[in-house]
Structure 1
């Protein structure tokens, strides 16, 4: 048995932030309100029905301590799923494996499963837009640097979801293949888009989410009965 065709995805790594404030005022009366750009860390939301008042606690299949805390700031990368492909039998046939669905505990303490996702929050108050990219940092390999040659990660059923109107939805790739060691743009919020918190999820529920992220491995790849892993870098930039 190959105990190990497992992807441990290293999370949220680069985020460029803006600092400052934008004011909104009432008109001619002496009653005023100033909106300041946000900056508190935003907790992960439910990928099935995101509600900012009901954060969830995701399970990180690669770290029992849980996922890293979000970057914080007025433009923030709040969360990115790690991917686990389970224990697989060694095979000389071409195989496609699927990342397990994201496990989490919802606001009411109920354990659930849903699609894997990446969460972005923009509370700069400028509606200037942003860009999300991802990079696979090398091929799957064992601790002894034995590579799983030809293995390829493919993301499907990508879509943006929020508690806000789709009028403000960023554009996002519905499907993409990850090249090795090359950053690719996967979601863009142009001016007046991507305001608030948006989840870039892969699949719409537990069932589709468990089929959305694929790991294709050629049968001709030499395989050892060991754990294989790689890492992903998600990068959030403040320019669309």
Structure 2
């Protein structure tokens, strides 16, 4: 049976740009590999989705948040939030509310009663986003 697991708490990604240059920036996330157990049993076909993050009202910076993305297991960087040149000074908060981050596991995937882990790599680039 296919199963979807959701975050049970709000998740936030915060960028505070205090350089004063308004040069812009880009925040990305990449999934390095598929979920695996400590003995390398893979959770084949499992997929993380980040749905409709929003720019938190407490943000003081001008930035954009990508509306929905599916992480791939090939270490491809996906933009979460960014500020174009001339923007981004201050604090920008991407709010991923309860239930908006999901892990979908196909029903046909063989599952074992062990802990599965993966690595997410977050990168903040000193490069303006192409909003």
TM-score, shorter chain, exceeding 0.5: yes
- 1:183, CA displacement in angstroms? 1.3
1:228 aligns with one of 111, 116, 129 = 116
1:145 corresponds to which residue?
Answer: 40
- 1:199, CA displacement in angstroms? 1.1
Structure number with larger C-alpha Rg: 1
Q: 1:186 to 1:163 in 2, by over 3 A?
A: closer
1:33 corresponds to which residue?
Answer: none
1:147-166 equivalences under 5 Å are: 147-161=42-56, 163-164=58-59
- 1:162, CA displacement in angstroms? 5.1
Alignment of 1:217 with 2:105, yes or no, is yes
2:29 aligns with one of 128, 134, 137 = 134
**Which structure is richer in relative contact order (CA contacts within 8 A, separation 6 or more)?**
2
1:137-171 CA distance string (max 9 Å, x none)? 10001000100000000001201125455xx4211
CA RMSD of aligned residues (A): 1.3
1:60-110 CA distance string (max 9 Å, x none)? xxxxxxxxxxxxxxxxxxxxxxxxxxxxxxxxx111111220xxxxxxxxx
Unaligned runs of 5+ in 1: 1-92, 102-114, 204-208
1:27-106 equivalences under 5 Å are: 93-101=1-9
Q: Check whether the contact 1:169–1:193 (CA below 8 A) recurs between aligned residues.
A: yes
Alignment of 1:177 with 2:64, yes or no, is no
TM-score by length of 2: 0.90
**CA–CA separation in structure 2 for the residues paired with 1:163 and 1:176:** 23
**Partner secondary structure for residue 36 of structure 2:** coil
Unaligned runs of 5+ in 2: none
